[in-house]
Amino acid sequence: MYMLQALDIYKSFGHLEVLKGVTLQVKKGEVISIIGPSGSGKSTLLRCLNRLETIDRGLIEIEGEIMVSTGADKRAHYGNENDIARLRRKMGMVFQNFNLFPHKSVLQNLTLAPILVQNCDAKAAEQTALALLEKVGLAHKARRYPFELSGGQQQRVAIARALAMNLIYCVLMNLPQPWTQN
């Protein structure tokens, strides 16, 4: 018997198809690493296994007990809340944490301090923030919230936020701007 079995898992966020038929079987005592590029769906898979996210399709079994399965209607059906809560208590999870403001968008995370602390003009702060997001490959996530990003993406936002403070400091003090020179 598997400790954990996930068969043919599908999960999308709107038009973004993240998990496309993932199968994973874990035996007692096994140590498994899930590796892949930032944003490829590793955390989403783990969150689905722990019912922090719901899957669209597939089957998840914990110690032989079905948590969710897919019927003839091709939709995922979860067990009742009590059963799921009991299964979840068997699982532990350690989260990544990058101290982004959870209630602010990615863009707001980058502009908040420059505007409040450094009295930066809101438009300028936003332009700088967008340029930095472009640099770290996340311009398309500007309006998203930290919880919607992968761990690596959050890390890159945190890096861009640190740079935003630095860059706007350079502009205010009329110092050379490292980013505009290359």
Ligand X SMILES: Nc1ncnc2c1ncn2[C@@H]1O[C@H](COP(=O)(O)OP(=O)(O)O)[C@@H](O)[C@H]1O
Q: Which of 5, 11, 43, 164: binder of Mg ion (CB under 5 A)?
A: 43
The region of 50-58, 129-137, 151-159, 163-171 touching Mg ion under the rule CB under 5 A is 151-159
The DSSP H or E segment spanning 165 is helix 151-172
179 binds, among ligand X, Mg ion, none (CB under 5 to 8 A by kind): none
- Name the residue with the smallest CB distance to ligand X: 150
Q: Within 5-24, which residues bind ligand X (CB under 6 A)?
A: 13, 16, 18
Q: Within 71-130, which residues bind Mg ion (CB under 5 A)?
A: none
Dist CA 54 CA 12 (whole Å): 10
40 binds, among Mg ion, ligand X, none (CB under 5 to 8 A by kind): ligand X
Report if residue 152 touches ligand X, rule: CB under 6 A. yes
Nearer to ligand X, 39 or 114 (CB): 39
For residue 23 the two structure tokens come to 């199968």
Question: CB of 180 within 8 A of CB of 170?
Answer: no
Question: CB of 107 within 8 A of CB of 133?
Answer: yes
Closest CA to 158 of 182, 138, 181, 128: 138
Dist CA 95 CA 127 (whole Å): 32
Q: Which of 5, 6, 9, 39: binder of ligand X (CB under 6 A)?
A: 39
Q: Which residue ranges make up the site for Mg ion (CB under 5 A)?
A: 42-43, 150-151
